[in-house]
Amino acid sequence: MTYLFIILYATTLIYFSLAERVKKFDWLLAIQGVLLFGIVFFDMQKIDTLNFIFILTETILVKAITIPWFLNKIRKRNNLKRKHEVFIPVFYSVIITIIIIVGSFLISSHFHDSKLNTKYFSISFASIVFGIYFIIIHKNIFSHVVGYLIIENGIFLLSLAVGSEMPMMVNLAILLDVLMGVLVLGIFINHVGDTFKSIEITQLTDIKD
């Protein structure tokens, strides 16, 4: 079952490169949140109530509901409809994304370390690399935040790959930090939009000497 969720997660990455409308980014992020919950839930050896509540909060409440809802509000406020600002055509982006995914699985297959769960490592690596690629090919800062969130989802998967056993309090603090970071980034998108009348990164060149 975990493999099914991992494949579905990889599919969302391809959809990200295919999506023409900014609205779809929010939906894809929400779907990724649900898939992350599925991956963790079906991999759990035993269900501990406290741990279950934490994972439910992190994946469903934060990643699948709160962040996409908040980004949707920002999208509407800044009147973002079509992305229309990518540097690379969609066709090539899809091919590059497939190369990233296949490449990640090939790289992971070379690791024979018992401490590393390769099935999670491959998809997390793909997600992180794709997130960076997504940021590079987009001009507007809203898409950059989406790219950042794809990287964050990749890091979440990486924490499963390395079997990280951080205490609950620290995990909570990290989650809160990321959530706060996204909320503050979102608020600043609005400020940039209001001040510069555009959220394209090419507008932000005032400070250089």
Partner 1 sequence: MIYFLASSFVLSAAILLFKNKTINFISVVMYLFTLSFFTIFSYIHIGRINSIYFKFDALSILMASMTSIISIGSFYHSFSYLKRKSTSDKQNSFYFASLIMFISAMMSAYYTQNFAVLWVSIEATTLFISILIFHTRTKSSIEATWKYLYISSIALAISFIGILFLSIIANSNGIDNLNMKTLIVASKNIDSMWLKVAFILITTGFSVKINLFPFHTVAIDAKTILASPINALMSTALVNVGFVGAFRVFTIISQTEILHWAQHILMIVGVVSILITVIQITRVKRLKRMFAFSSMEHMGLVFLGLAAGGIGYYGAIMHILFHSLIKAGLFFQLGSIRSFYKSIWIKDNGQYFRLNNWGGLALIVGVFSILAFPITGLFITEIMIFKSLLMGGYYFVSIFVLTLLSIIIFIVVRNTFHLLYGTVEKTMIHKNIKPNYGETATQFVLFGLTIYLGIAPPACFTKLIEATISVLN
Chain positions contacting partner 1, by CB under 8 A: 113, 115-116, 128, 135, 141, 144-145, 148, 151-152, 155, 158-159, 162-167, 170, 173-174, 177-178, 180-181, 184-185, 188, 191-192, 195-196, 204, 206-209
Minimum CB distance to partner 1, residue 112 (Å): 11
Q: Is 80 exposed, middle or buried (0-12, 13-18, 19+ CB in 10 A)?
A: buried
Compare residues 37 and 148 and give the one whose CB is closer to partner 1.
148
- Cβ proximity to partner 1: between 30 and 182 the closer is 182
Q: Which is nearer to partner 1, 95 or 180 (CB)?
A: 180
| Cβ at position 185, least distance to partner 1 in Å | 6
